[in-house]
Structure 1
């Protein structure tokens, strides 16, 4: 039996924030952004809420019907399309830090590092975050969430991109056709993230 997946709506916001908070609380990157555990427990959900709001406003979120897994996606335009669109987004990493945790420079730092590593010039679907409840990890829910989007990318001749936050997730993405893009993002005194690119697969 397949995994039932649906497009999330604003009504799912609280459930999505709860899921991301739970799934990433012990992630190495979250631990770097919020090294103090007590502070992380107070503040981490606010960062996840900001991510959910951006995805719902500018991209989309897919989630399993039972709410145990979700993926946040953004469609990134090619160079010509991006140049034709006027934006007043301003300094997004600084704005995120100001909104979520003003005294924590790492909130801003990680935004700048991932932005600098993000490939430019070619349209692609960006898997911003994918979350699975810890008790359900290893059941293939992440792959089930990604497969419909990757299949569409293959049909439409479109690329996909993501940043793997652990060696385990990097291996999963490699099995789905992603390859490392450029050098890793090494967080100062912290873990490494791996930018990964996937060209459309022939078939």
Structure 2
């Protein structure tokens, strides 16, 4: 039986942030944006708190009951980088790494599909709980909720491709962040 999945509430924010910080501790994107492990440890919680708070009411923040697995979904059409307020928050979280973070964000947005889609912005499971089906459960719960609508994501980890392909996504592009940034695969689950 798949693990239970529910909507995250504001009260879940600390546990969600802790899970995502642990899940992305050795992520190629965060390693490139924040190459210093101490800076990454300081900035990660602020970044994931900002991402959690930035899901608009029409989006979805899904978690397992203990918040060991999390997905953050933007409803069609995903927002841009959020203007000056978001840039200010990101600068406060990342300092001079803001420019690399913005370079990643600009490259991500440049590769969005032209049609409306649900955007799986973040999916992560606490490393201590990986391999238990929790990540699959929270992604599948989001896909079940959106029904036939297309869904899109990008990943900088080749090992994630098979996981997402098993959920109906297919690779629709490969690209690199300009200036020596990480390699990405764009993945789309078309409407069906």
Alignment TM-score, normalising by the size of structure 2: 0.88
Partner deviation per Cα, 1:62-107 (whole Å, 9 max, x = no partner) = 00012211100110139xxx9xxxx9x4357744533322312212
Counterparts of 2:92 and 2:61, CA distance in 1: 22
Counterparts of 1:74 and 1:92, CA distance in 2: 18
Kindly indicate whether the alpha-carbon contact (under 8 Å) linking 1:93 and 1:108 is maintained by their aligned counterparts in 2.
no
Within the candidate set 110, 121, 126, 1:128 is matched to 121
Secondary structure at 1:77 match in 2: coil
Partner deviation per Cα, 1:88-127 (whole Å, 9 max, x = no partner) = x43577445333223122121111111111123x221111
Describe how 1:1-203 pairs up with structure 2 within 5 A. 1-55=1-55, 59-77=59-77, 89-90=82-83, 94-104=87-97, 105-120=99-114, 122-154=115-147, 157-186=148-177, 188-201=179-192
Cα 1:133–1:178, aligned 2, differ >3 Å: closer, same or farther? same
Cα 1:185–1:197, aligned 2, differ >3 Å: closer, same or farther? farther
Q: How many residues align?
A: 191
Deviation at 1:45? 1.3
Deviation at 1:130? 0.6
Gaps of 5+ in 1: none
Kindly indicate whether the alpha-carbon contact (under 8 Å) linking 1:159 and 1:200 is maintained by their aligned counterparts in 2.
yes
Is the deviation greater in 18-27 or in 183-192? 183-192
4+ runs of 1 displaced by more than 4 Å? none
Cα 1:145–1:106, aligned 2, differ >3 Å: closer, same or farther? same
CA RMSD of aligned residues (A): 2.5
Kindly indicate whether the alpha-carbon contact (under 8 Å) linking 2:104 and 2:177 is maintained by their aligned counterparts in 1.
no
Partner deviation per Cα, 1:44-63 (whole Å, 9 max, x = no partner) = 21111111110265622100
